[in-house]
Protein backbone atom coordinates (compact mmCIF):
# COMPACT_ATOMS: atom_id res chain seq x y z
CA UNK A 1 0.00 0.00 0.00
CA UNK A 2 1.33 3.42 -0.93
CA UNK A 3 2.08 5.59 2.07
CA UNK A 4 1.09 9.26 2.13
CA UNK A 5 3.99 11.67 1.69
CA UNK A 6 5.35 13.17 4.92
CA UNK A 7 8.17 15.69 4.48
CA UNK A 8 9.50 14.87 7.96
CA UNK A 9 9.69 11.13 7.26
CA UNK A 10 9.65 10.51 3.49
CA UNK A 11 12.68 10.62 1.16
CA UNK A 12 12.72 13.70 -1.07
CA UNK A 13 15.08 16.06 -2.88
CA UNK A 14 15.46 19.78 -2.29
CA UNK A 15 16.99 22.28 -4.69
CA UNK A 16 19.54 24.79 -3.47
CA UNK A 17 18.20 28.08 -4.84
CA UNK A 18 21.58 29.73 -4.27
CA UNK A 19 23.74 27.45 -6.42
CA UNK A 20 21.37 25.11 -8.29
CA UNK A 21 22.54 21.90 -6.61
CA UNK A 22 20.16 19.29 -5.22
CA UNK A 23 20.31 17.44 -1.90
CA UNK A 24 18.65 14.11 -1.08
CA UNK A 25 16.84 14.18 2.28
CA UNK A 26 16.28 10.79 3.94
CA UNK A 27 14.75 11.54 7.37
CA UNK A 28 13.67 7.93 7.95
CA UNK A 29 17.37 6.92 8.18
CA UNK A 30 17.96 8.93 11.33
CA UNK A 31 17.18 5.98 13.56
CA UNK A 32 19.73 3.64 12.01
CA UNK A 33 22.49 2.31 14.31
CA UNK A 34 26.01 3.72 14.01
CA UNK A 35 28.92 1.29 13.93
CA UNK A 36 31.22 3.43 11.82
CA UNK A 37 34.22 5.56 12.66
CA UNK A 38 34.15 7.74 15.73
CA UNK A 39 36.37 10.76 16.29
CA UNK A 40 38.38 11.79 19.30
CA UNK A 41 36.55 14.57 21.18
CA UNK A 42 37.82 17.98 20.01
CA UNK A 43 40.84 19.17 21.94
CA UNK A 44 39.98 22.06 24.25
CA UNK A 45 42.77 24.62 24.48
CA UNK A 46 42.96 25.86 28.07
CA UNK A 47 46.08 28.04 28.15
CA UNK A 48 46.12 31.65 27.01
CA UNK A 49 49.70 31.32 25.73
CA UNK A 50 51.50 28.31 24.20
CA UNK A 51 55.24 28.62 23.65
CA UNK A 52 55.03 26.01 20.87
CA UNK A 53 52.23 27.76 18.95
CA UNK A 54 53.26 29.42 15.69
CA UNK A 55 50.50 32.04 16.06
CA UNK A 56 50.90 33.18 19.67
CA UNK A 57 52.37 36.66 20.26
CA UNK A 58 56.15 36.87 20.11
CA UNK A 59 56.60 33.31 18.81
CA UNK A 60 58.54 32.31 15.71
CA UNK A 61 56.39 31.14 12.80
CA UNK A 62 57.24 28.20 10.55
CA UNK A 63 58.47 30.58 7.87
CA UNK A 64 61.05 32.07 10.23
CA UNK A 65 59.36 35.41 10.95
CA UNK A 66 58.40 36.37 14.50
CA UNK A 67 54.94 37.55 15.52
CA UNK A 68 54.86 40.92 17.25
CA UNK A 69 53.56 41.07 20.82
CA UNK A 70 50.11 41.83 19.46
CA UNK A 71 47.33 42.65 21.92
CA UNK A 72 44.27 42.47 19.66
CA UNK A 73 43.29 40.96 16.31
CA UNK A 74 46.42 40.49 14.18
CA UNK A 75 46.76 39.89 10.41
CA UNK A 76 49.79 38.78 8.42
CA UNK A 77 50.57 37.27 5.00
CA UNK A 78 50.46 33.47 5.07
CA UNK A 79 53.96 31.99 5.14
CA UNK A 80 52.81 29.07 2.96
CA UNK A 81 50.24 30.76 0.73
CA UNK A 82 48.17 28.82 -1.80
CA UNK A 83 48.21 31.87 -4.08
CA UNK A 84 51.04 34.28 -4.92
CA UNK A 85 50.97 37.81 -6.27
CA UNK A 86 54.02 37.24 -8.50
CA UNK A 87 52.55 34.40 -10.57
CA UNK A 88 53.42 34.82 -14.24
CA UNK A 89 50.47 35.15 -16.61
CA UNK A 90 49.83 31.97 -18.62
CA UNK A 91 46.94 30.12 -20.22
CA UNK A 92 46.18 27.02 -22.21
CA UNK A 93 43.03 27.00 -24.34
CA UNK A 94 42.18 23.44 -25.26
CA UNK A 95 38.85 21.63 -25.23
CA UNK A 96 40.21 18.94 -22.91
CA UNK A 97 43.25 20.58 -21.33
CA UNK A 98 42.34 24.12 -20.27
CA UNK A 99 44.51 26.01 -17.80
CA UNK A 100 44.97 29.58 -16.60
CA UNK A 101 47.54 31.01 -14.21
CA UNK A 102 46.04 32.47 -11.04
CA UNK A 103 47.63 35.17 -8.94
CA UNK A 104 46.41 36.14 -5.51
CA UNK A 105 47.11 36.72 -1.87
CA UNK A 106 46.57 34.70 1.34
CA UNK A 107 46.43 36.22 4.81
CA UNK A 108 45.97 34.84 8.32
CA UNK A 109 43.94 36.70 10.95
CA UNK A 110 44.55 35.73 14.59
CA UNK A 111 41.38 36.51 16.51
CA UNK A 112 43.22 37.58 19.65
CA UNK A 113 46.47 36.93 21.55
CA UNK A 114 44.57 34.39 23.69
CA UNK A 115 45.47 30.90 22.47
CA UNK A 116 42.22 29.41 23.83
CA UNK A 117 39.70 32.07 22.82
CA UNK A 118 37.33 30.92 20.04
CA UNK A 119 34.49 33.08 18.71
CA UNK A 120 32.07 31.20 20.99
CA UNK A 121 34.06 32.23 24.05
CA UNK A 122 34.94 35.78 23.07
CA UNK A 123 32.94 38.81 24.17
CA UNK A 124 30.77 40.62 21.65
CA UNK A 125 33.23 43.51 21.78
CA UNK A 126 36.13 41.17 20.97
CA UNK A 127 34.19 39.61 18.08
CA UNK A 128 33.54 43.10 16.74
CA UNK A 129 37.33 43.63 16.59
CA UNK A 130 37.55 40.51 14.39
CA UNK A 131 34.81 41.90 12.13
CA UNK A 132 36.70 45.22 11.96
CA UNK A 133 39.77 43.33 10.78
CA UNK A 134 37.81 41.33 8.20
CA UNK A 135 36.39 44.59 6.84
CA UNK A 136 39.69 46.52 6.81
CA UNK A 137 41.57 43.66 5.16
CA UNK A 138 38.81 43.03 2.60
CA UNK A 139 38.63 46.69 1.67
CA UNK A 140 42.39 46.93 1.16
CA UNK A 141 42.78 43.62 -0.66
CA UNK A 142 39.70 44.32 -2.79
CA UNK A 143 41.57 47.21 -4.42
CA UNK A 144 43.85 44.66 -6.07
CA UNK A 145 41.80 41.45 -6.44
CA UNK A 146 38.15 41.07 -7.51
CA UNK A 147 37.44 38.02 -5.35
CA UNK A 148 38.10 38.20 -1.60
CA UNK A 149 37.22 35.12 0.44
CA UNK A 150 37.05 35.43 4.24
CA UNK A 151 36.80 32.04 5.95
CA UNK A 152 37.54 30.07 9.11
CA UNK A 153 38.36 26.39 9.58
CA UNK A 154 37.76 25.52 13.22
CA UNK A 155 39.04 22.26 14.69
CA UNK A 156 41.43 19.52 13.59
CA UNK A 157 38.49 17.53 12.18
CA UNK A 158 38.11 20.34 9.59
CA UNK A 159 41.78 20.22 8.67
CA UNK A 160 42.83 23.14 10.82
CA UNK A 161 46.55 22.69 11.47
CA UNK A 162 46.90 25.58 13.94
CA UNK A 163 44.92 25.38 17.20
CA UNK A 164 45.25 29.11 17.89
CA UNK A 165 41.84 30.57 16.86
CA UNK A 166 42.19 32.29 13.53
CA UNK A 167 40.57 32.87 10.16
CA UNK A 168 41.99 33.40 6.70
CA UNK A 169 41.52 35.56 3.63
CA UNK A 170 42.31 34.25 0.17
CA UNK A 171 42.03 36.70 -2.71
CA UNK A 172 42.35 35.95 -6.40
CA UNK A 173 41.80 37.14 -9.96
CA UNK A 174 38.70 35.06 -10.74
CA UNK A 175 35.56 34.06 -8.80
CA UNK A 176 35.97 30.40 -7.69
CA UNK A 177 33.71 27.63 -8.97
CA UNK A 178 31.13 27.61 -6.16
CA UNK A 179 30.93 31.40 -6.18
CA UNK A 180 30.35 31.36 -9.93
CA UNK A 181 27.27 29.21 -9.34
CA UNK A 182 25.96 31.69 -6.77
CA UNK A 183 26.59 34.55 -9.19
CA UNK A 184 24.58 32.77 -11.90
CA UNK A 185 21.61 31.94 -9.65
CA UNK A 186 21.43 35.38 -8.02
CA UNK A 187 21.77 37.16 -11.37
CA UNK A 188 19.09 35.00 -12.97
CA UNK A 189 16.68 35.62 -10.08
CA UNK A 190 17.30 39.37 -10.17
CA UNK A 191 16.69 39.50 -13.92
CA UNK A 192 13.34 37.74 -13.43
CA UNK A 193 12.10 39.58 -10.34
CA UNK A 194 14.23 42.74 -10.00
CA UNK A 195 14.83 41.78 -6.37
CA UNK A 196 17.60 40.05 -4.45
CA UNK A 197 17.23 36.26 -4.19
CA UNK A 198 18.64 36.05 -0.67
CA UNK A 199 16.75 39.06 0.66
CA UNK A 200 13.51 37.50 -0.59
CA UNK A 201 14.62 34.19 0.90
CA UNK A 202 15.33 35.83 4.29
CA UNK A 203 11.85 37.37 4.32
CA UNK A 204 10.27 34.00 3.50
CA UNK A 205 12.25 32.26 6.25
CA UNK A 206 11.23 34.89 8.79
CA UNK A 207 7.58 34.48 7.79
CA UNK A 208 7.69 30.67 8.06
CA UNK A 209 9.90 30.70 11.19
CA UNK A 210 10.41 26.91 11.21
CA UNK A 211 14.09 27.02 10.17
CA UNK A 212 15.14 30.23 11.98
CA UNK A 213 17.67 29.48 14.72
CA UNK A 214 18.32 32.98 16.03
CA UNK A 215 17.74 36.57 14.95
CA UNK A 216 18.22 40.16 16.07
CA UNK A 217 17.27 43.52 14.57
CA UNK A 218 19.64 43.25 11.59
CA UNK A 219 20.56 39.59 11.08
CA UNK A 220 19.17 36.07 11.16
CA UNK A 221 20.63 32.58 11.16
CA UNK A 222 18.68 29.76 9.51
CA UNK A 223 19.25 26.12 8.74
CA UNK A 224 18.69 26.61 5.01
CA UNK A 225 15.87 24.73 3.31
CA UNK A 226 18.50 23.03 1.12
CA UNK A 227 21.11 22.33 3.85
CA UNK A 228 23.46 19.43 3.08
CA UNK A 229 25.42 19.19 6.34
CA UNK A 230 23.46 18.06 9.43
CA UNK A 231 23.64 21.37 11.33
CA UNK A 232 24.58 23.67 8.46
CA UNK A 233 23.45 27.28 8.87
CA UNK A 234 23.24 30.40 6.73
CA UNK A 235 23.78 33.85 8.24
CA UNK A 236 21.81 36.54 6.42
CA UNK A 237 21.23 40.29 6.76
CA UNK A 238 17.64 41.52 6.96
CA UNK A 239 18.63 44.60 4.97
CA UNK A 240 19.99 45.04 1.45
CA UNK A 241 23.81 44.90 1.37
CA UNK A 242 26.21 43.29 -1.06
CA UNK A 243 29.57 43.41 0.76
CA UNK A 244 30.85 43.05 4.30
CA UNK A 245 32.70 46.36 3.90
CA UNK A 246 29.38 48.19 3.46
CA UNK A 247 27.76 47.50 6.84
CA UNK A 248 27.44 50.45 9.24
CA UNK A 249 28.62 50.54 12.89
CA UNK A 250 25.24 49.49 14.33
CA UNK A 251 24.97 46.58 11.91
CA UNK A 252 28.53 45.59 12.78
CA UNK A 253 27.68 45.49 16.47
CA UNK A 254 24.57 43.39 15.87
CA UNK A 255 26.60 41.08 13.61
CA UNK A 256 29.03 40.46 16.49
CA UNK A 257 26.02 39.61 18.66
CA UNK A 258 24.59 37.11 16.14
CA UNK A 259 28.00 35.46 15.63
CA UNK A 260 28.28 34.99 19.39
CA UNK A 261 24.79 33.50 19.56
CA UNK A 262 25.24 30.92 16.80
CA UNK A 263 28.76 29.82 17.80
CA UNK A 264 27.68 29.43 21.45
CA UNK A 265 24.75 27.29 20.36
CA UNK A 266 27.10 25.15 18.28
CA UNK A 267 29.36 24.56 21.29
CA UNK A 268 26.34 23.81 23.47
CA UNK A 269 24.95 21.21 21.05
CA UNK A 270 27.40 18.48 22.05
CA UNK A 271 29.20 20.42 24.82
CA UNK A 272 32.46 20.65 22.93
CA UNK A 273 34.45 23.19 20.95
CA UNK A 274 32.26 22.65 17.89
CA UNK A 275 34.22 22.30 14.61
CA UNK A 276 33.09 23.92 11.37
CA UNK A 277 34.16 25.67 8.22
CA UNK A 278 32.54 29.06 7.73
CA UNK A 279 32.99 31.79 5.19
CA UNK A 280 31.64 35.08 3.89
CA UNK A 281 30.42 35.63 0.35
CA UNK A 282 30.51 39.29 -0.61
CA UNK A 283 29.95 40.66 -4.09
CA UNK A 284 33.08 40.81 -6.27
CA UNK A 285 35.29 43.88 -5.96
CA UNK A 286 35.06 44.79 -9.65
CA UNK A 287 33.92 48.44 -9.46
CA UNK A 288 30.47 47.41 -10.70
CA UNK A 289 27.12 47.64 -8.89
CA UNK A 290 25.71 44.30 -7.78
CA UNK A 291 22.03 44.79 -6.86
CA UNK A 292 21.52 41.05 -7.35
CA UNK A 293 24.07 40.09 -4.70
CA UNK A 294 23.25 39.78 -1.01
CA UNK A 295 26.00 39.39 1.58
CA UNK A 296 25.87 36.08 3.47
CA UNK A 297 27.96 33.63 5.48
CA UNK A 298 27.89 29.81 5.39
CA UNK A 299 28.57 27.56 8.38
CA UNK A 300 29.38 23.94 7.49
CA UNK A 301 29.85 21.82 10.65
CA UNK A 302 30.53 18.08 10.25
CA UNK A 303 29.23 16.64 13.54
CA UNK A 304 26.15 14.44 13.27
CA UNK A 305 25.12 12.68 16.49
CA UNK A 306 27.71 13.65 19.10
CA UNK A 307 31.15 15.19 19.47
CA UNK A 308 32.62 11.90 18.22
CA UNK A 309 30.32 11.06 15.28
CA UNK A 310 30.68 13.06 12.09
CA UNK A 311 28.92 13.18 8.74
CA UNK A 312 31.04 11.88 5.87
CA UNK A 313 30.51 13.19 2.35
CA UNK A 314 31.48 9.95 0.57
CA UNK A 315 30.08 7.33 -1.78
CA UNK A 316 26.72 8.62 -2.99
CA UNK A 317 27.66 12.21 -2.08
CA UNK A 318 30.89 12.08 -4.10
CA UNK A 319 29.35 10.25 -7.06
CA UNK A 320 25.80 11.60 -7.18
CA UNK A 321 24.62 14.42 -4.89
CA UNK A 322 24.62 15.51 -1.24
CA UNK A 323 22.45 13.47 1.16
CA UNK A 324 21.28 14.12 4.71
CA UNK A 325 19.17 12.25 7.27
CA UNK A 326 17.86 14.76 9.80
CA UNK A 327 15.65 17.35 8.11
CA UNK A 328 16.66 21.03 8.14
CA UNK A 329 13.53 21.78 10.17
CA UNK A 330 14.50 19.24 12.83
CA UNK A 331 18.07 20.57 12.96
CA UNK A 332 16.82 24.16 13.33
CA UNK A 333 14.52 23.19 16.21
CA UNK A 334 17.41 21.49 18.03
CA UNK A 335 19.75 24.49 17.63
CA UNK A 336 17.04 27.02 18.49
CA UNK A 337 16.22 25.24 21.76
CA UNK A 338 19.80 25.48 23.01
CA UNK A 339 20.86 28.05 25.58
CA UNK A 340 22.59 31.25 24.48
CA UNK A 341 24.86 30.95 27.53
CA UNK A 342 28.00 28.93 26.85
CA UNK A 343 27.95 25.51 28.52
CA UNK A 344 31.22 26.21 30.33
CA UNK A 345 29.63 29.18 32.04
CA UNK A 346 26.60 27.07 32.94
CA UNK A 347 28.84 24.40 34.46
CA UNK A 348 30.72 27.04 36.46
CA UNK A 349 27.48 28.56 37.74
CA UNK A 350 26.18 25.13 38.80
CA UNK A 351 29.38 24.01 40.54
- Distances in Å between the alpha carbon of 77 and those of 37, 104, 105? 36, 11, 8
Give Cα 135 distance to the centre of its chain.
16
CA 306 to CA 231: how far, in whole Å?
12
Among candidate residues 172, 65, 169, the one with its CA nearest the CA of residue 110: 169
What is the maximum span of the chain, computed from C-alpha positions, in angstroms?
Answer: 71
Specify binding-site residues for Fe cation.
182, 281, 296, 298
Q: Are 105 and 144 in contact (CB under 8 A)?
A: yes
DSSP 8-state code for residue 252: H
* Whole-number Å distance between alpha carbons of 204 and 216: 16
155: left (phi over 0), alpha (psi -120 to 50) or beta: left
Active site residues: 166
Give, in order, the Cα–Cα distances in Å from 209 to each of 23, 101, 212, 220, 234: 21, 45, 5, 11, 14
Phi, psi of 50 (to 5 degrees): -125, 115
Q: Comparing C-alpha atoms, which of 224, 168, 220, 191 is closest to residue 19?
A: 224
Q: Name the pairing type of β-strands 322-324 and 22-25.
A: parallel
Backbone angles phi, psi at 147, to 5 degrees: -115, 125
DSSP-assigned beta bridge partners for residue 235: 221, 297
Give binding residues as ranges.
Answer: 53, 56, 115, 164, 182, 281, 296, 298
Mark the binding-site residues for Zn(2+), compressed into ranges: 53, 56, 115, 164
- Is residue 212 within 8 Å of residue 3, measured between CB atoms? no
For residue 278, list its beta bridge partners: 152, 299
- Collapse the DSSP code of 78 into the 3-class scheme (helix H, G, I; strand E, B; otherwise coil) and give the result: coil
Which letter does DSSP use for residue 210 in this model? Answer: T
Say if residues 16 and 22 touch (Cβ distance below 8 Å).
yes
Amino acid sequence: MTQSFDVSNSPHRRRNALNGDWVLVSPHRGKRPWLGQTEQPPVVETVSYDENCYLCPGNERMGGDFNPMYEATYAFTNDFAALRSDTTAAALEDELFTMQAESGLCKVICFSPDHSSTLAEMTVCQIQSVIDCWIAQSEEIGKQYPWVQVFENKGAIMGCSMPHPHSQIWAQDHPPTLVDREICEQTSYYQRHHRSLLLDYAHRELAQAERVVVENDDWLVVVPYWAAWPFETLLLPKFSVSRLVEINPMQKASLADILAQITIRYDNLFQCSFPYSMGWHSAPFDNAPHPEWQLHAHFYPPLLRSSSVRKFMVGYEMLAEAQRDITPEQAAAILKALSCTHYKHQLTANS
